[in-house]
């Protein structure tokens, strides 16, 4: 674990886990850096052309004008800027079905992107060796986070079309209960809207059935509903409220994970969590106190200003049709290149930044498979779908992102991907 010529260091269990496996993101980034001609449909970045430089400048000017004491450049509170948290509480109530009369600034915690919130939540509930219940597929960066803390992700049962199988969940929970509480996952992690990678949103009855299963079999199992992509809808806002507003979830420990990073500016790196569980929130706040005792106050002050001025909402009205068009473009080129007729399949996303493709049966899309080597030859990058499953199977899915790549390169990238798919299929036939 130590480089040649270095003093051998003795690492903790966490340190050894961290050093054991190269993260996927490193592998993908190295590919990009080594081959500048490569077009990436893998990166989870947003589109630089949409980054709100004017809004940020206006917010900075407003801060100067309003606050001669310059508190926006000083340390803030560990839990986050109270005015930003208040703005977030008000903002949450603007979504369809989201009532939350009892939720206020004090129920929020601001973090370095929602990633830190997820990391701290896992620290709070999970010891090494524990398990976390995740969707199939789930967010691969979260799966890596779990493994980095020595925690094992376990897939929830889903129906063939990807819907959470509440009956199967009940059965699994009951089996765990029979083995005693130790064998059960310590946490469940779901993405409520335009999930990464599937772009699916949880339906109301799906959430209701899960709540009922949990009430019967595991009323104390903490649940995270990650809403990172919620605001990036293409047409109408999602009609299903978060678990926080659903009567059937009342009394169940739930954390809503949100972010201002993806919908506004990734460079401001500001996420947030909100929960009715005072102990959960306080535990996170304590861990944050040790980890960094508060996120950048300047980023928070800019975002508070942007939300209060209406620039945040205006920005989103602009980016929604923009990403809708990029999604449509990516789909159209893939269709025209004949991908569907070769046995590929996908659902059109209604929001988010991702397209989730099912490859023909038998085509291995993983780093070890034919599609990956063909894609390298065609100079196009994707995320192998197996990375998004807790158990690493199935191996015939692909995640494509239409977020980062400029609109005028998406067509070319999609054509390269289609050629790679054809090439991989031809080799299979050999």
Rule CB under 8 A: which of 254-283 touch a second copy? 265-270, 277-280, 282-283
User: Does 367 engage in binding with a second copy (CB under 8 A)?
Assistant: no
The radius of gyration computed from the CA coordinates of the chain, to the nearest angstrom, equals 22
DSSP 77-120: -TT--HHHHHHHHHHHTTSTT---TT--GGGEEEESHHHHHHHH
Measured distance CA(332)–CA(267) in Å, rounded: 31
Rule CB under 8 A: choose which of 99, 155, 291, 373 binds a second copy.
291
The label of the residue with tokens 């997820």 reads: 118
Rule CB under 8 A: choose which of 191, 227, 299, 380 binds a second copy.
299
Rule CB under 8 A: choose which of 8, 65, 178, 429 binds a second copy.
8
To a second copy, the closest distance from the beta carbon of 309 in angstroms equals 17
To a second copy, the closest distance from the beta carbon of 20 in angstroms equals 9
Rule CB under 8 A: choose which of 90, 204, 248, 287 binds a second copy.
287
The nearer residue to a second copy, 52 or 238, going by C-beta atoms, is 52
E strand or H helix that includes residue 309:
helix 297-309
Q: Which stretch binds a second copy (CB under 8 A): 15-23, 34-42, 90-98, 309-317?
A: 15-23
Q: Is the dihedral of CA 322, 323, 328, 330 positive or negative?
A: positive
User: Does 199 engage in binding with a second copy (CB under 8 A)?
Assistant: no
The nearer residue to a second copy, 71 or 159, going by C-beta atoms, is 71
User: Does 196 engage in binding with a second copy (CB under 8 A)?
Assistant: no
Binding residues among 49-108 for a second copy as defined by CB under 8 A = 51-53, 56-57, 60, 64, 69-78
Rule CB under 8 A: choose which of 153, 294, 369, 385 binds a second copy.
294
Measured distance CA(215)–CA(169) in Å, rounded: 12
User: Does 30 engage in binding with a second copy (CB under 8 A)?
Assistant: no
To a second copy, the closest distance from the beta carbon of 295 in angstroms equals 7
Enter the DSSP assignment of 351: B
Q: Is the dihedral of CA 180, 250, 277, 152 positive or negative?
A: positive
Query: Who's near 430: CB < 8 A, 6+ residues apart?
Result: none
Rule CB under 8 A: choose which of 97, 219, 310, 318 binds a second copy.
219
Q: Which stretch binds a second copy (CB under 8 A): 143-151, 226-234, 321-329, 412-420?
A: 143-151
User: Does 410 engage in binding with a second copy (CB under 8 A)?
Assistant: no
Question: What is the distance of C-alpha 16 from the center of its chain?
Answer: 26
Binding residues among 324-363 for a second copy as defined by CB under 8 A = none
Rule CB under 8 A: choose which of 186, 200, 315, 399 binds a second copy.
186
User: Does 15 engage in binding with a second copy (CB under 8 A)?
Assistant: yes
Measured distance CA(44)–CA(69) in Å, rounded: 38
Token pair for residue 239? 């009609």
Measured distance CA(64)–CA(261) in Å, rounded: 23
The label of the residue with tokens 């992509």 reads: 229
């Amino acid at each position: 674990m130590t480089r040649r010529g270095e003093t051998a260091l003795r690492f903790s269990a966490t340190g050894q886990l961290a050093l054991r496996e190269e993260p996927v993101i490193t592998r993908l980034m190295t590919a990009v850096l080594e081959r500048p001609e490569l077009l990436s449909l893998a990166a989870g970045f947003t589109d630089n052309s949409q980054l709100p430089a004017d809004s940020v400048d206006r917010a900075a000017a407003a801060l100067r004008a309003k606050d001669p004491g310059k508190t926006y450049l000083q340390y803030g509170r560990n839990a986050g800027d109270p005015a930003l948290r208040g703005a977030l509480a008000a903002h949450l109530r603007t979504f369809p079905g989201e009532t939350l009369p009892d939720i206020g600034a004090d129920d929020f915690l601001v973090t370095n992107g929602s990633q830190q919130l997820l990391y701290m939540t896992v620290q709070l509930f999970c010891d090494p060796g524990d398990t976390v219940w995740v969707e199939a597929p789930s967010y691969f960066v979260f799966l890596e986070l779990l493994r980095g803390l020595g925690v094992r992700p376990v897939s929830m049962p889903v129906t063939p079309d990807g819907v959470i199988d509440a009956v199967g969940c009940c059965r699994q929970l009951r089996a765990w209960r029979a083995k005693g509480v130790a064998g059960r996952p310590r946490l469940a992690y779901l993405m409520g809207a335009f999930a990464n990678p599937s772009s699916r949103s949880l339906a109301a009855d799906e959430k209701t059935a899960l709540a009922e299963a949990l009430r019967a079999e595991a009323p104390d199992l903490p649940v995270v509903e990650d809403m990172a992509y919620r605001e990036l809808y293409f047409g109408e806002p999602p009609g299903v409220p978060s678990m926080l507003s659903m009567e059937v979830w009342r009394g169940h420990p739930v954390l809503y994970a949100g972010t201002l990073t993806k919908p506004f500016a990734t460079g401001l790196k500001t996420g947030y969590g909100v929960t009715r569980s005072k102990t959960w929130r306080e535990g996170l706040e304590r861990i944050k106190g040790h980890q960094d005792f508060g996120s950048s106050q300047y980023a928070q002050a800019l975002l508070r200003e942007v939300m209060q001025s209406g620039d945040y909402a205006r920005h989103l009205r602009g980016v929604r049709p923009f990403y809708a068009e990029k999604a449509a473009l990516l789909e159209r080129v893939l269709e025209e290149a004949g991908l569907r007729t070769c046995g590929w399949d996908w659902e059109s996303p209604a929001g988010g930044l991702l397209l989730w493709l099912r490859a023909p049966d038998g085509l291995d899309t993983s780093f070890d498979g034919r599609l990956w080597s063909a894609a390298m030859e065609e100079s196009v990058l994707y995320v192998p779908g197996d990375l998004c499953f807790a158990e690493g199977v199935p191996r015939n899915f692909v995640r494509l992102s239409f977020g980062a790549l400029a609109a005028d390169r998406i067509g070319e990238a999609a054509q390269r991907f289609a050629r790679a798919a054809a090439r991989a299929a031809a080799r299979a036939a050999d």
